[in-house]
Structure 1
């Protein structure tokens, strides 16, 4: 289609829903004058509390995404569920978003999203951690199946020939959250496309009925009205379902209405998603209207925001959009410091749903100076932005000479997070490092756009134990070049050393997004998760690193540490013994790989 949208037909319609338990009842539509009564359930919002009393409750989440299936015809695989789940996960753990600790969010994607793992996370883990005052989120993106009046979510290992025993029933999910998970607010985000070709007899209406049935006692936020089509757009950001895209955009701050108070409330998020999905679809001659049903306190805070509209838009009710074009292929486009997508010169990038006010757009291409534009987004206005990558990254000779002199004094270690490097003897003196620092500072003064000089300055300050200066230097390197993965990894390392593990996790997730096949990044992500007490996520990150390069000794070590922590928390003796055995094997393997001996690890 000319619009670039891929529309689901009536037999492959996608059902998107956000269901929140708020401990209330759903209001039924009043009787009509003739005595008839609508079967629709109307939205009943409780009176909002004082906005100055807003605070975000503690939360836990399970995020699931499946694009490709083990036993389903490959022709029925989906495009965006895994990336949508990852986007929602990043939004939940971002400080400018849901603000949840990484250890409180468990991510299952692809082959890890088996029926057994899904059951464990929802039916065992969530009930064991959630308390009455908490918020609980369950997100699923993938295929949905339905038969008769019962709907199912399809895990990676679902068997279409026996889906009633290999898929996860929606009514089971609803009953577990209602009866076993003790939390004040419960959210289920379902982004499930189902297909009659996958399971004969599946229809949009039957799955909608099941979602509606599961919505008793819940606030339901669905992507469409009854019988409307839902769609996804490969040109929207990096490609996404409309509902999930705007849900993430809103949670990351764009839903914060003037006056900007720094919080995203339920009312704000719902209004933002409803308006932007319908406007975006309408602009492409399509009809899609998210609908909210339920009984809830609209002032409950669901996320934090640092996006504040400028005074010129202080009374604006609508968001605006940007269309970014570039002059060469392979340009990474960043919006307010976050990577949106790599685009080519003939494929403009649409970024809708932006809060009114000032935003910074940066185009980055390796080997060239980045182009930065600050633009003001106006409500209801689509604004074009042209990024021009023109100049090769050639630095003044004096700046380059200063860098070379500094690097001659600087002994490079592969990473400030490298375990063996911590105990290795430095070949520089403090005087050498202080001189190197002066050279790098002088190089930056000569050329403020010299990202390598900022990076080397960070390395030097790290070795001089000046954490504050190192953080500032790495941050400057990333400001100059947001795609500088090594700088992002080292910045995360300093964050870990200064006790900011949660922020380090966020930075390393971004680095992994930039270079998903970089095993060193994934190994450092495992380390960050460990410092953030997210043992399961640490083990998964380390395993992902080893799947790419089996000889990554740091990944072996961090996986062993994660297994040891999981064993300490495990109550089942056989499972605890198995985890302890895995930890012991990894520690022994690490020692053989590195010839490294330390009392810290030899006792394991």
Structure 2
């Protein structure tokens, strides 16, 4: 089906419908490989980690194992080809400076991970990680002189594939008997631990102990949680979501059920492996990565089944994707649809999106385009960027009973772009550059191009490098200014994308010469 009244360059990155009934990107998937520092592949997978351990406190009781735990986890991550920054017994100013630098660098990482071991407290329903020099006058002062979990989440937020925050910080709260005049409303059920986290989709937050509970230091040189984490993350060919379930089980066993680690948030529905030969799937395009669920060993599939019985949406999706690969003996689209329906009914927007695709073409279910559109809209209402972008496409060209409405389409593309959907960012920039987006200027187009470049989409880099004149001179000059502001470019702001500008584009993308 050809697009109507769509600029050529917009068509370049827009999704086209296939015989499956939905979308194939005309944008190349980023080709990556397992990251090793000696690699000659400029597009090799990048893993970054920030490890912070605080044992010595100026205004609170010292902790015994936290710096040792931090070093153990740093060593483990180094073995897993992370570029690790490890810092111990640091104060607030240094902590915040580290986070700011890490946040910027992590934008070009495939995986960004932060591990913190030290005092952590909950104040007014928010979680704070306590640096060595925090003021302990009262709980409000502790909060004011600590780093919030929100700041940690922001630091990993723009990593391209996997975002993990691990808090080994649920020790006894040394500030629990603070100022009796404290006016903040504190969740008393969590007073001895941390409040539940609510990270964005695609980010996993792991607590050493479930919300409101206290983690144990252990009798040895490392805490039970740190030991289990270090051992489990290195297990060959262990899918990352199942790894954290195994960490939980190991800690429960080591503490005679006294401590149960807990995870919040959710990873994407695509499998990911930190160690072993299965790491090769991390580099595959999205559809091929979904098929890679079928590579799990039998014992891991059993664990996935157990998680699904507990209502784990990611496990339900993984089992569904195993049954959507026609090259597998277990191919069973009807069963896949049933699994996705369970996850969708539990509120999972990715499951809604995938189930909508099945209803659209009648794969595993009776064809029902009205049901498909309903699910696309529900997924979009949950801010799932793929669904928002696809609805934009439907409004732009019409389809599934949607009346063509370019104005609504542009609104949807803008929503998807704001949620950092790479193709939507590029397409929205093109529409702004064409002057069809009310209230947006060339500087806005350049900002979306910069964000699309930083998101790690190789085709965005190729188009900006090889075909920059698809954008007007004003947009090109604005992009040069943005590259200059971020210290990627030092040449003239002239809109000419010569060798120096092209080098700056590669640097902003995350490539070194």
Higher share of residues assigned strand: 1
Higher helix share: 2
In which range does the TM-score fall when normalised by the shorter chain?
0.3 to 0.5
TM-score by length of 1: 0.35
Question: What is the TM-score when the length of structure 2 is the normalising length?
Answer: 0.40
Larger of the two Rg values belongs to structure = 1
Higher relative contact order (CA 8 A, sep 6+): 1
